[in-house]
Amino acid sequence: MSERKPIKTAFVSVYHKDKLDVIIRELHAQGVAFISTGGTQTFIESLGIPCQAVENLTGYPSIFGGRVKTLHPKVFGGILYRRDEAGDLDQVAQYEIPTIDLVIVDLYPFSQTVASGASEQDIIEKIDIGGISLIRAAAKNFNDVIIVASQAQYQPLLDVITENGASTTLKERKFFAKEAFAVSSGYDSAIFNYFDGNDGSYFRAADDNAKVLRYGENPHQQGVFYGDFDAMFEQLQGKEISYNNLLDIDAAVNLINDFDEVTFAILKHNNACGIASRPAVIDAWKAALESDPVSAFGGVLVTNAVIDKATAEEITKIFFEVIIAPDYDVDALEILTQKKNRIILVQKDAKLPTKQSRTVLNGILVQDKDTKIETEADLKVVTKKAPTAAEVEDLLFANKVVKHSKSNSIVLAKNKQLCASGVGQTSRVDALNQAVEKAQNFKMELQGAVMASDAFFPFPDCVQIANEAGITAVIHPGGSIRDNDSVEACDANGQSMVMTGFRHFKH
């Protein structure tokens, strides 16, 4: 068994004092002495426990409005000196430096202050100096000192001292040091990103919420999710969420967030296989399912409307893995929860990041998120025939869907319902042929439907194929040197075409 080192003196200076009293009382009961600052000293003494003020130790008061309280050799020396180095021990005796075995500190709430919209002056004052220095010092000297660097580590420390008394092993101290450096690195990343703004000078990211998944994209791959899932969703029931579930949930949320009308979507492998907008949620569901009832099996369902009983009765007729909605009626939940493995999520009103990142080769790609949603004002009619009002609505609907479909992608829609899509193809012609064939297989009426493409048409072939299928209006970004070829084909066919100038290519 590893040798346990006793804790005789603890330095405690924290911003968050919730649940600290239990630790202080336990340490005191085991004969540990305390050194502290300001409010924390007052807190400890309010428990009826003696505490030495750091000012009495250093001989200096807190100065510069509290900016300098602990930055002194008698504090940092007591933490950093090596207990097995003769030279260090000589200097400890020479300069009357106390031994500090345990440091409990936390940091000013910098990120929370930024998020609150506080002034720059208030934000700067939340950049911790003494706390971060104490954390680094104690973590560096984990061979002799144990560091508790956040409120999240209060309970682990309490478990250690309750089970084994006021003493620690090297393994325990190293664990707490690792946790401490996670705190300090995340804190510094937040400060840098505040100063860097949107410049993207360097990539610095940190997240304290790690959830180990059953596995990654495939069973032989390990997977971890870093993020606060509970800030975005309330999971009412269901099995543990997987890596692939998270990918589909992310795609579903980003898609549905682009729609203001009551809309229901069904996703498989991050693509919508069914989606429709209707005044009533039950009708939106039925229309979405009609697009592709085969692919809907085992899919992820998402809507921006409250699920009622009638809709739940229809939904439960098929097998699905996940359903996401802003809320559910009680009688709807009674139906949906009958199968316990179903993942039922309530989507909260939480902000999504404005940046996207992914690993590539030996680095990371970062870009602004594609938040552009085209409106009628963005549409430039380039053909002799302009789209009708109904076609404009369908073109905007289809354009939202194609934005969230894997490239190359083509979306066919009519009456704000997905007729079919072709996704992830190496050829835009293949994508269109796939969509047309799929629509025909499911008896979706394409006469008078519209076509959306995520990028321009370099040749008029897709326009011709669409015309033969009954497509009467087309939307795409434009930008090809051969745009006129497609425009002329539309004119010859009696089709209308609009260009947006915004490409939505998506890997």
Low-confidence stretches of the chain (pLDDT < 50) are 1
Provide the pLDDT for residue 157: 95
Helix 20-29 × helix 38-46 angle, to 10°: 60
Give the DSSP per-residue string, 97-122. Answer: PPP--EEEE----HHHHHHTT--HHH
What CA–CA distance (Å, rounded) separates 12 from 104? 5
Asked if residue 307 lies in contact with residue 301, where contact means CB atoms within 8 angstroms, the answer is no
Provide the pLDDT for residue 1: 46
Q: Is 269 a catalytic residue?
A: yes
Provide the pLDDT for residue 64: 84
Of the candidates 140, 174, 211, 239, the residue annotated as catalytic is 140
pLDDT tens, position by position, 364-407? 999 999 999 999 999 999 999 999 999 999 999 999 999 999 99
Token output for 52: 């030495």
Asked if residue 481 lies in contact with residue 456, where contact means CB atoms within 8 angstroms, the answer is no
Tell whether the torsion through CA atoms of 280, 285, 290 and 292 is positive or negative: positive
What CA–CA distance (Å, rounded) separates 333 from 316? 11
Of the candidates 72, 239, 269, 372, the residue annotated as catalytic is 269
SS3 of residue 434 by DSSP = helix
Token output for 8: 């005789």
Q: Is 140 a catalytic residue?
A: yes
SS3 of residue 71 by DSSP = coil
- Looking up tokens 């098929």 gives 318
Provide the pLDDT for residue 2: 61
The residue type of 418 is: L
Tell whether the torsion through CA atoms of 492, 498, 501 and 502 is positive or negative: negative
- For the entire predicted model, the pTM comes to 0.86
